[in-house]
């Protein structure tokens, strides 16, 4: 597909990475992950006339060395071997032929985004990024390599950055990322997700706040099914801005999964289209008022048409373009009491480490 001439909008300082081979991240016809989602997302951006607002860059595959900064050699070998014949990485994660190269290309996309941010871009997006279930030597949840951690370790080694912030709003808890950084105070890892009692992978309890010297640097807010947009935004606005302000990150990695939408077949948080505009618009503002480096990884989203609209709204929020798509919302504050209770429990658990107004 051809997306028209490259628009030189340097003043926008915003970009996206894309490669036709992104669409080969396809785990099979009966699998909820939609293989050609990146292409469909960009086609929709074109249709809505926002392609002119950011630059497109073509990523390269992450190298073995990039992967080894996070993953065990034996694990990388296992993915490489499975990729030769096709097979299963985990019960929910088929490993189709060639996946080693495609997963490295997805990871390379996140690394290229980071490079562009270091060159002066203020916001970069990877439509095939955010594989937060991949841990050091094991993985599931449709993930092979943890591009979030691999990008952090790349930045640490090449640019000597010291303070990384992850904001993960995918409906699933980012268990892989948490495993990697549970004892690392240089990474403040915030995850909002559907309660692990009701959804894969089951982790991400309020009480998991980090280990040893990294206590307070893992922040988990589990949310009940049917949380709704209104309650979700109360939580987001009470937790995320004070942490950005106090931690003062050098880069923010935002896993903007849209499987929180009410039509998503895998989960039940029941957010509406407008939620994605509000959240990403706020993330844009928080980044601009701190490090001015926002790396956006599109993450999960499994209802093809709705997820594409959600990603468009994410983009509108990042661009501060108010032509986002809205829908009826009568369930916005359905679970507000439970959500407010969880917020206040979280604030108590973190009271020794952070101030909340």
Active site residues: 133
| Residue with Cβ nearer Zn ion (260 or 290) | 260
Stretch that binds Zn ion, among 76-84, 249-257, 274-282, 328-336 (CB under 5 A): 249-257
Tokens standing for residue 126: 């990877």
Residue nearest to Zn ion (CB): 300
Count helices and strands in the chain by DSSP H and E runs: 10, 10
| Residue with Cβ nearer Zn ion (200 or 356) | 200
- Please tell me whether residue 115 binds Zn ion under the rule CB under 5 A: no
- Please tell me whether residue 257 binds Zn ion under the rule CB under 5 A: yes
Size of the site for Zn ion (CB under 5 A): 5
- Mapped onto helix, strand or coil, the DSSP state of residue 220 is strand
Say how far apart CA 89 and CA 54 lie, in whole Å: 36
**Beta bridge mates, 3:** none
The nearest distance, CB 72 to Zn ion, in angstroms, is: 24
Q: Per-residue DSSP letters for 317-329?
A: HHHT---------
The nearest distance, CB 177 to Zn ion, in angstroms, is: 12
Say how far apart CA 127 and CA 106 lie, in whole Å: 9
Q: Which of residues 171-230 bind Zn ion (CB under 5 A)?
A: 172
- Please tell me whether residue 259 binds Zn ion under the rule CB under 5 A: yes
- Please tell me whether residue 129 binds Zn ion under the rule CB under 5 A: no
The alpha helices in the chain, defined as continuous H runs, are 37-47, 64-68, 73-85, 99-119, 147-159, 175-181, 229-247, 273-288, 304-319, 336-349
| Residue with Cβ nearer Zn ion (66 or 170) | 170
- Please tell me whether residue 317 binds Zn ion under the rule CB under 5 A: no
Tokens standing for residue 193: 């997700």
- Please tell me whether residue 59 binds Zn ion under the rule CB under 5 A: no
- Please tell me whether residue 300 binds Zn ion under the rule CB under 5 A: yes
Q: List interacting residues with Zn ion (CB under 5 A).
A: 170, 172, 257, 259, 300
């Amino acid at each position: 597909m051809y997306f028209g001439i490259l628009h030189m909008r340097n003043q926008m300082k915003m970009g996206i990475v894309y490669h036709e081979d992104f669409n080969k991240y396809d785990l099979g016809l009966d699998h909820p992950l939609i293989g050609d989602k990146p292409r469909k997302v960009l086609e929709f951006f074109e249709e809505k006339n926002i392609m002119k607002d950011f630059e497109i860059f073509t990523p390269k595959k992450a190298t073995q060395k990039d992967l080894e900064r996070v993953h065990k050699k034996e694990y990388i070998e296992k993915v490489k071997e499975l990729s030769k014949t096709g097979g299963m990485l985990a019960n929910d994660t088929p490993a189709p032929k060639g996946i080693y190269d495609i997963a490295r290309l997805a990871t390379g996309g996140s690394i290229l985004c980071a490079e562009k941010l270091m060159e002066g871009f203020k916001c970069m997006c990877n439509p095939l990024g955010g594989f937060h279930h991949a841990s050091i030597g094991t993985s599931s949840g449709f993930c092979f390599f943890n591009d979030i951690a691999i990008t952090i370790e790349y930045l640490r080694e090449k640019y000597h950055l010291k303070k990384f912030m992850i904001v993960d709003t995918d409906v699933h808890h980012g268990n892989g990322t948490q495993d990697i950084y549970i004892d690392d105070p240089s990474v403040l890892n915030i995850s909002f997700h559907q309660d692990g009692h009701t959804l894969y992978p089951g982790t991400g309890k309020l009480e998991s706040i980090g280990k040893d010297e990294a206590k307070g640097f893992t922040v988990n807010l589990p949310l009940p099914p049917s949380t709704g947009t209104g309650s979700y935004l109360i939580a987001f606005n009470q937790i995320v801005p004070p942490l950005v302000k106090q931690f003062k990150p050098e880069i923010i990695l935002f896993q903007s999964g849209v499987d929180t939408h009410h039509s998503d077949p895998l989960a039940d948080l029941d957010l509406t289209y407008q939620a994605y505009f509000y959240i990403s618009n706020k993330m844009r503002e928080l980044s601009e008022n701190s490090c001015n480096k926002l790396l956006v990884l599109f993450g999960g989203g499994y209802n093809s048409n709705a997820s594409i609209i959600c990603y468009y709204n994410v983009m509108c929020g990042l661009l501060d373009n108010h032509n986002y798509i809205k829908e009826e919302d009568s369930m916005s504050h359905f679970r507000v009491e439970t959500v407010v209770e969880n917020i206040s429990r979280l604030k108590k658990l973190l009271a020794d480490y952070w101030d909340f107004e």
